[in-house]
């Protein structure tokens, strides 16, 4: 028995756009130019191509449409009735294309304007990014800013983000990451806590202290990191107090409830004012940073370029590198038996 398989449909008319695109777009542009200028020669000058190229494009379009669009004489060029109908239908679409091209050129070359979608972690966004936006908006009033604060991993494409601020270590090779400043991580306590409990001198001493933990957006407890003997060592202290907001962690430390490892941008101001003291600074990891990230170095719109430059300069101008200038200070702290001979080493910021 023979089974007759139907012939596959011809592709010529299955998709009008695919079937006509190869010849029609250049032909339509040439056609609009000739109709507008009333001359093949002037149309060629406007398009910046040869007259013969314009003529060939129009001829291909006429053959494709199986319709004569122009009446040509030695003295004039005019539209046929079919040409007038085609012109009325095509002209609005071509105008929109031209306007779209001009808009893109304005975004690249004109005054920065448009929508800018930014992502930042909650703490860094509130404390650092948001205040710097005030000056940016004053300088570039035609740029509308949409700031998203979220500690969860961010996807540039799915979240439609133009620029993102990220902390820690950059392991995503798909984005361009420019380090703004290093991100020192220091263990801190209040002077009151230090006077009562002393401070750890080695990483192992943390087990004997009241530690305050931070729960990340993923639900896990943030691990404290130290650099011991040139290698990263992670430590997750036991704690009776855990927060999922880094500002609450900071406040608990300021209130003398315990010690915590925090980022430099959170504690630099408090270290300078003497409201906090740091410890274990000699073990602080030095390979973390604050980064400004975007998808490509090429063809960045003006609004993104000026934002990156503004924020890079603004963040670097802030005194956030609190690990620089710390000096060890020995302070007598009573031990469990009340003996004042025991000593702890605190790290205080030198006055600038």
Q: How many CB atoms lie within 10 A of CB 227?
A: 15
Residue range 81-96, pLDDT digits in tens: 998 898 888 878 877 7
CATH number for 16-107: choose from 1.10.10.10, 2.60.40.10, 3.30.200.20, 3.40.50.10700. 1.10.10.10
Query: What was the pLDDT predicted at 103?
Result: 66
Looking at residue 255, its pLDDT comes to 95
Across 60-74, 147-161, 327-341, least confident range: 327-341
DSSP sequence for 186-239: EEEE-HHHHHHH---SSGGGGGGS-BEEEB-TTSPBPPEEEEETTEEEEE----
Separation between Cα atoms, residue 32 and residue 87, nearest integer Å: 7
Work out the burial of residue 219: count CB atoms within 10 Å of its CB; fewer than 13 is exposed, 13-18 middle, 19 or more buried. Answer: exposed
β-sheet bridge partners, residue 235: 224
* Strand, helix or coil for residue 343: strand
Non-local CB neighbours of 315 within 8 Å, separated by 6+ positions: 128, 132, 180, 181, 290, 292
Residue 182's pLDDT is what?
86
CATH level 2 (architecture), domain 185-286+322-349: 3-Layer(aba) Sandwich (3.40)
Q: Is the pLDDT of residue 118 over 70?
A: yes
Answer for the pair 322, 349: CB distance below 8 angstroms, yes or no. yes
pLDDT at 73: 80
State residue 195's pLDDT score: 93
DSSP 268-318: HHHHHHTS-EEE-GGG---S-EEEEEES-SSS--HHHHHHHHHHHHHHHHS
Interval 279-294: pLDDT, tens = 988 888 877 888 999 8
Query: Is residue 128's pLDDT more than 50?
Result: yes
Domain ranges of the chain: 16-107, 114-182+290-317, 185-286+322-349
Is 45:25 a contact under the CB 8 Å cutoff? no
What is the H or E stretch that residue 344 is in? Answer: strand 343-349
Q: What is the H or E stretch that residue 60 is in?
A: helix 51-65
Give the separation between CA 59 and CA 161, rounded to whole angstroms.
46
Band of residue 342 on the pLDDT scale cut at 50, 70, 90: very low
From the CB of residue 73, how many other CB atoms can be counted at a distance below 10 Å? Answer: 7
What is the mean pLDDT of the segment spanning 297-309? 84
Res 208 pLDDT > 80: yes
- Write down the pLDDT at residue 324: 53
- Name which of 200, 188, 193 is nearest 343 in CA terms: 200
Distance, in Å, from the CA atom of 179 to the CA atom of 170, rounded to the nearest integer, reads 9
Fold of 114-182+290-317: D-Maltodextrin-Binding Protein; domain 2 (3.40.190)
From 17-21, 66-70, 335-339, the region with the lowest mean pLDDT: 335-339
- Average pLDDT score over residue span 312-323: 80
Q: Which helix (H) or strand (E) holds 105?
A: helix 81-109
Q: What is the per-residue pLDDT across 10-29, written as a single tens digit (0 to 9) for each?
A: 444 455 545 555 557 788 88
Q: What is the SS3 string spanning 114-163? A: EEEEEEECHHHHHHHHHHHHHHHHHHCCCEEEEEEECCCCCCCCCCCCCE
DSSP 29-55: HHHHHHHHHTSHHHHHHHHTS-HHHHH
Identical fold, 114-182+290-317 and 185-286+322-349: yes
Buried b (16+ CB within 10 A) or exposed e, 261-290: bbbbbbbbebbbeeebbbbbbebbbeebbb
Query: Between the CA of residue 344 and those of 194, 280, 347, what are the distances in Å?
Result: 8, 11, 10
Mean pLDDT value across residues 301-326: 81
Residue 43: which residues within 8 A CB-CB, separation 6 or more?
Answer: 30, 33, 34, 36, 37, 54
- Has residue 80 got a pLDDT over 60? yes
Overall average pLDDT of the 133-154 stretch = 89
* Mean pLDDT of the residues in the chain: 81
Query: Which tokens in the block code for residue 223?
Result: 């691990």
Q: How confident is the model at residue 236 (pLDDT cuts 50, 70, 90)?
A: confident
Average the pLDDT over 319-334 and give the result.
55
Task: Supply the pLDDT for residue 1.
Answer: 44
Per the CB < 8 A criterion, the answer to whether 214 and 148 are in contact is no
pLDDT score of 320: 74
pLDDT number for residue 312 = 93
């Amino acid at each position: 028995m023979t089974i007759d398989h139907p012939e596959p449909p011809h592709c010529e008319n299955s998709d009008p756009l695919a079937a006509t695109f190869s010849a029609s777009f250049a032909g339509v542009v040439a056609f609009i130019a000739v109709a507008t200028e009333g001359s093949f020669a002037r149309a060629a000058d406007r398009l910046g191509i040869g007259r013969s190229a314009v003529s060939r494009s129009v001829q291909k379009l006429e053959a494709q449409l199986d319709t004569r669009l122009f009446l040509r004489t030695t003295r004039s060029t005019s539209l046929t009735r079919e040409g007038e109908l085609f012109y009325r239908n095509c002209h609005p679409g071509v105008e929109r294309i031209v306007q779209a091209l001009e808009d893109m050129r304005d975004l690249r070359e004109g005054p920065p304007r448009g929508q800018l979608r930014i992502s930042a972690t909650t703490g860094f966004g509130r404390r650092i990014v948001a205040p710097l936006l005030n000056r940016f908006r004053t300088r570039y009033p035609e740029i509308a800013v949409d700031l998203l604060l979220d500690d969860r991993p961010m996807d540039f494409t799915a979240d439609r983000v133009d620029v993102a601020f990220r902390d820690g270590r950059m392991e995503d090779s798909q984005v361009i990451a420019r380090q703004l400043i290093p991100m020192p991580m220091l263990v801190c306590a209040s002077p009151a806590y230090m006077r009562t409990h002393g401070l750890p001198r080695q990483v192992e001493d943390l087990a004997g202290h009241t530690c305050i933990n931070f729960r990340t957006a993923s639900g896990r407890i943030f691990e404290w990191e130290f650099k011991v003997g040139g290698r990263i060592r992670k430590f997750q202290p036991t704690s009776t107090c855990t927060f999922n907001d880094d500002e609450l962690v900071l406040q608990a430390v300021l209130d003398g409830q315990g010690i915590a490892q925090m980022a430099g941008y959170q504690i630099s101001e408090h270290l300078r004012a003497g409201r906090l003291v740091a410890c274990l600074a000699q073990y602080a990891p030095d390979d973390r940073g604050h980064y400004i990230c975007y998808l490509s170095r090429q063809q960045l719109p003006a609004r993104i370029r000026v934002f990156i430059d503004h924020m890079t300069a603004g963040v670097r101008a802030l005194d956030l590198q609190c690990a620089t200038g710390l000096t060890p200070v020995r302070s007598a702290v009573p031990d469990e038996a009340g003996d004042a001979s025991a000593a702890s080493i605190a790290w205080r910021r030198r006055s600038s």
